[in-house]
Structure 1
Amino acid sequence: CPACGGIAGVGAVDVAEQAVGHAGFVGGADAGYSAARWAAEARGEIDAAHAAGLLPVLVGGTGLYLRTLIDGIAPVPPIAPAIRAAIRALPVAEAHALLMLEDPAAAARLAPADTTRVARALEVVRATGRPLALWQQQRVGGIGARVTLAAAVLLPPRDLLMDRIDRRAREMLASGAMEEVAALVARADVPDDAPVRRAIGVAGLIALLAGTLDNEAVISRLQLETRRYAKRQFTWFRNQSPKNWLQTTDSNGATAHIATLLS
C-alpha cells in the first residue's frame, strides 16, 4: 500500500498475528541492492516456507520489486566491471549524448538528467550489443505462473495518509535518523555515489549535519519527498497492479479479506 507497505496492505494487524513464518533480508549500505537481487532472495524464502508447509505472506512494497518477483526480469548478462566503471564515471550529460548515438530510442525515452537509467541503458547496449528494450521483451524468474497469489491493496484516504507521512517524518528524526545518517557518512566504505545516499531523507539529513539546513527544513523536505513517493505508489497500484487484486480504502475490509484467504 502507498507509503505504508502492502501487497497485502494491512501492516501489523490481525493477519500478521496469524502468520506462521517470518523472513527478512537486507543489503549492506556499502553495496548496491536491486529488484533482481531482492526477487531472488524472496523466491528462496518463499520456496523455503512452502517446503516447510508454511504460508508465506508478503507485506510491502514498490511496484518494480513486486513486478520483478511475480513476472520476472529481463535476462541481461552481467556487465563487465570495467565497462560499468567507465560509464558510471561519466557526467550524465556526456553519457546521455553517447546513448543518443548507441541507443537513440532509449535516449529519447529517458530524461537527460536521469543518471541511473541513462547509465544502465548505455552499459547494457555497450556490453551486449543489444538495446535494453530488446532485453526487456523477455522475462525470466517470475513466480506468478507457479504460485496461487491472493492480493489486496490498501489505498487509504489521501488526507489520512498525508497526515501519517507528516507525523512519521518527525518521529524518524526523534528516533535517531540523524544519528544513523551520521554513522553512514562516517563510513569510509560507503562512497558518495552509493545508492543508499539517494534514499528518501538521506540528503536532507546530511545537509542538517553539515549545518546547511535546519531541523524544520529537513522535516519539511522529508515530508515532501515521502509524499511524492506515496503518490507514485498510488499511481502504480491503481493503474499497473493486476485487475484481480482487491483495491480498498477500508483497512478493516482488507484485513477481513486477507484473513478469509488465510483461513
Structure 2
Amino acid sequence: MYTVLLTFSCRNMESSLQTNLAYLIVIGSLALFVLVAAVLLFFILYQKRVLKGIQEKRTLENKYQKELLYHSIETQEEERKRIAADLHDDIGGKLSAIIMMLKRLQIAQPANKTLLKDCQDSLQETLDSTRNISHNLMPPALETIGLIKVLERLTKNLNNPKFKLTVSYPKEVRFGAKIELALYRILQELINNTLKYSKANKATITFLIDQDNWVMRYADNGIGYSHDDESMGMGLRNIKSRVEMIQGSLHFFSRKNEANGLEIKLLKNDL
C-alpha cells in the first residue's frame, strides 16, 4: 500500500513538474518574443529617426543652397546695374565728349581731316559697342516699355539670313518688374545657348494664356540638350532658380531638330 502511494505521489510530482516546465517554456517564449519585438521596434524607430534627421539635414542644406543662389542672383543684378550705369554714364559720356572734340579738330585742322574722321568713326563704333554692352547688362527700356517691346527690339538686332527669332503674343501685357527682369534673363540665357550650341536656324518666343496661367514658351529647331539635374549646366540651373524665385513652374521639352526648349507657367493672380 505504501509503495502504491509513493508511486502515485511521484507520478503527481512528475506531472506537476512537466506542467510547470511547460508554463516556463511558454512564459519564456513569450518573454523572448516580447524582447525581440521590442528590439525590432526600437531598431525601426531608431532608423526612422536617423532617416528623418538625414532628410531634415538635406532639406536645410537645399534651402541654404537655394537662399545662397537667390542672394547670388540678386547680387549679380545689382552689380550688372552698377556696371551698366558706369558704362553708359561715365565711359559713354567721355567717349561722346572725345567725338565732339574730334569734330571740332576736323574744322580747325582741315589737313588732318581724313585721319581725324577715321578716329571719330572708330570711337563711334566703340561708343555703340559700349552702349550695347550696357543695355545687355541692364536694358533701360525694360522698366519703361516692358518686356514684350524689348524682345521685339531684340529680334531686329539678332535676325540675319542664318538665324531668325520671332516673338508672338495674344495681347501686350506688363508683368511685375522682378518677373519681367527674370524672364528677360532667362531668355538671354536660352538665346545664348541656341546661338552657341544648338545649331538652330530659328527660335520662337511665345506668350499665351492657358486657363489661369500666363505661359511663356521658348523653342528652337536645334539638336537639343540634356536638362536633367546631374548634367544641367550653371546657366540652366540659374534658369531653374529664377523660375522658382518668381514662383513659376518649369517644363523642358526636347525633340531633336523639331522643337527644343522650355515652358514657364505663371499664375495670373500672382502677376
Structure with higher Rg: it is: 2
* Greater share of residues in helix: 2
* Same-fold call, TM cutoff 0.5: no
Higher relative contact order (CA 8 A, sep 6+): 1
* TM, length-normalised to structure 1: 0.24
